[in-house]
Amino acid sequence: MKNNGGESKSFREKYLNKRVILIVLGIAIVVGGVTAGALLKASENPSFCATCHIIKPYYVSWSEGALLDNKHAQEDIECLDCHHRTIPEKAMEGINFITGNYYMPLEGPPGDRAMCLDCHSEEGEGMSWDEIMAATKFEDSNPHDSHNGQQDCNLCHQMHEKSRPMCADCHLWKWYDDLDESWDV
């Protein structure tokens, strides 16, 4: 195509005018936004987590296992109820998965006492700490009234692997025999 001076127009002049560039850019932004929104919504579903091969064993354990994570699933507790992630953290997890920049086992939430008591306390509609101690008072000991002082819950209670009473490092209590299959003593 020739311009008014009889010269041929370049590819850029023919096809890449500002209006076309803005339209294509606008479409790309809309498609990217819709895709990101759909991925964020999908990531709220625990089965979405299982699409990552490194997460699949955790999801299987949560959905059908005998561990503490399955007990939480039976109470309608989902992954994101404990694994709180911001949008940038979720994006970084996706990038780390794609690039292989992660270590096994994966690092989870802190599992500290405060996190657990968000649900397992009077404020979280669970039992108070005194009620937890009363419920676990055995004839010979009380694992929640430790001579070591207040401990983080994850020292004994594990979500994605068998739990193990810290007391078992030094003590042989009778109540170990009453623990279910989610415990290893």
Q: Please state the separation of Cα 101 from the chain's center in Å.
A: 17
> Is 52 within a domain?
no
Q: Please state the separation of Cα 84 from the chain's center in Å.
A: 6
Domain tally for the chain? Answer: 1
If you average pLDDT over every residue of the chain, what do you get? 83
> Is 168 within a domain?
yes
Any residues with CB less than 8 A from the CB of 82 and at least 6 apart, and which?
A: 72, 108, 109, 115, 159
Grouping H, G, I as helix, E, B as strand and the rest as coil, residue 98 is helix
> Is 134 within a domain?
yes
> Is 162 within a domain?
yes
> Is 10 within a domain?
no
* Residue 163 main-chain phi, psi, to 5 deg: -80, 160
pLDDT value of position 82: 85
Q: Please report, for the domain that includes residue 115, its CATH number.
A: 1.10.1130.10
Any residues with CB less than 8 A from the CB of 154 and at least 6 apart, and which?
A: 110, 111, 112, 116
CA distance 55 to 104: 10
Give the tokens for residue 109.
């939430």
CA distance 108 to 87: 17
CA distance 26 to 152: 50
Query: What is the span of the domain harbouring residue 117?
Result: 110-185
Rg of the chain over Cα atoms, rounded to whole angstroms, equals 27
> Is 32 within a domain?
no
> Is 88 within a domain?
no
- Judge whether residue 34 has pLDDT over 70: yes
pLDDT-based confidence at residue 170 (cuts at 50, 70, 90) = very high
pLDDT digits (tens, 9 = 90+) for 62-120: 999 899 999 999 999 888 888 888 888 888 888 888 898 888 877 777 677 788 888 88
- Judge whether residue 31 has pLDDT over 80: yes
Higher confidence at residue 117 or residue 14? 117
What's the mean pLDDT in 146-164? 88
Any residues with CB less than 8 A from the CB of 129 and at least 6 apart, and which?
A: 117, 121, 144
Residue type, 80: L
pLDDT digits (tens, 9 = 90+) for 127-151: 777 888 888 888 888 998 888 888 8
pLDDT value of position 122: 66
CA distance 83 to 92: 14
* Residue 18 main-chain phi, psi, to 5 deg: -60, -35
CA distance 110 to 82: 9
> Is 55 within a domain?
no
Higher confidence at residue 67 or residue 39? 67
